[in-house]
Amino acid sequence: MTSGRGVAARIEAIRAQGRAALIGYLPVGYPDVAGSVEAMRAMVEGGVDVVEAGLPYSDPLMDGPVIQRATQQALDNGARTRDAFTAIRGVVETGAPAVVMTYWNLIDRYGIDRFAAELAEAGGSGLITPDLLPDDADEWLAASERHDLDRIFLVAQTTTPERMRLTVESSRGFLYAASLMGVTGVRSVGAEARDLVARAREFATLPVCVGLGVRTAEQAADVGSYADGVIVGTAFVQALEAGGPPAVKELAQELSEGVRSVAPAGTA
C-alpha cells in the first residue's frame, strides 16, 4: 500500500532506472534552522533522492555521538518541533520527497493528529519512528490514513518472523532495515544487512532500505546491490560539521556515484 505523495513511488521509479535510491539524513536546526535547510537542499543537489529531516530529541538513545552532538546543539539553539515543517518545505521545493525522523514522545506531546496535519500541509511524505512499535501505533496509523502519510517502521536482525510480518503490514512508504543493532554511527555494513533484507522481502512488497553504517561510495554500491535504498546519516552530519553545505553536496555526489554504479538484485 502506498501513499499518493509517498516515497515508495519515487523509490520504485528509481529502481526501474536500474539502481537503488540514496536517502540522506540531517538534523533540523543544526547548525541552525536556516543552515540545516541549506544543507538538506545541498544533499539533493548532490544526488540524494529522498531526505530524512531529523527532529532533535533530548534523549536520543538510538543515535551515536556525532548525531547526538549535532542535535544537542540544535536544541541549545532553540530548535522546535514546528521547525521540522520549515525544513520539509525547503526540501520539497527542490522536487525531492522528504520525511521526518524522530522519537515518538515528541509527536505524542505535540499532538499526533496535529503533527500529521501540519506535516502533510508542509508537503512531507511521512514519518520514521525508530522507537514506536506497530502494536502501540493505533493513533498514528489512523492519523497517517487521514492525512495520506507514509509510516516507516524499523526492523533489525533480532526481529522475529511474526514481528517482521506485523511490521511490514503496518508500514507504508518503505521498510527501514537497521543493518547493525545499537546506536547509529559510521562503521562497517556487515553481511547481516544482506540477510536482513532477504528476510524482510519474504513478507514485504514495499521497498526495503538499509541504514546505520554507510559512509563511502563503495559501501553505498554494496548495499545498493541488494537493497532498494541506501540510508546515510552520520557521514552527512560529519561532512556538515567539517565543511558546511559544500562538503555535504560533495559527499552526496560521491555516494550517488556509488549507488549508480550497480543495479539492485532483481532489476532488469
Residues with active-site annotation: 52, 63
Cell of 39: 544543507
Q: DSSP secondary structure string, 13-42? A: HHHHTTS-EEEEEEETTSS-HHHHHHHHHH
The answer to whether the beta carbons of residues 263 and 18 sit under 8 Å apart is yes
According to DSSP, residue 153 is labeled -
CA distance 255 to 222: 11
The answer to whether the beta carbons of residues 53 and 99 sit under 8 Å apart is yes
Q: Is 51 helix (H, G, I), strand (E, B) or coil?
A: strand
Encoded amino acid at 193, one letter = A
Cell of 264: 539492485
CA distance 90 to 97: 11
The answer to whether the beta carbons of residues 3 and 172 sit under 8 Å apart is yes
The answer to whether the beta carbons of residues 22 and 47 sit under 8 Å apart is yes
According to DSSP, residue 127 is labeled E
For residue 50, what are the β-bridge partners? 23
Q: At what angle do helices 234-259 and 33-46 cross, to 10 degrees?
A: 20
Counted residue by residue, the chain has a size of: 268
Cα angle, residue 147 at apex, residues 146 and 153 outer, rounded to 5°: 95
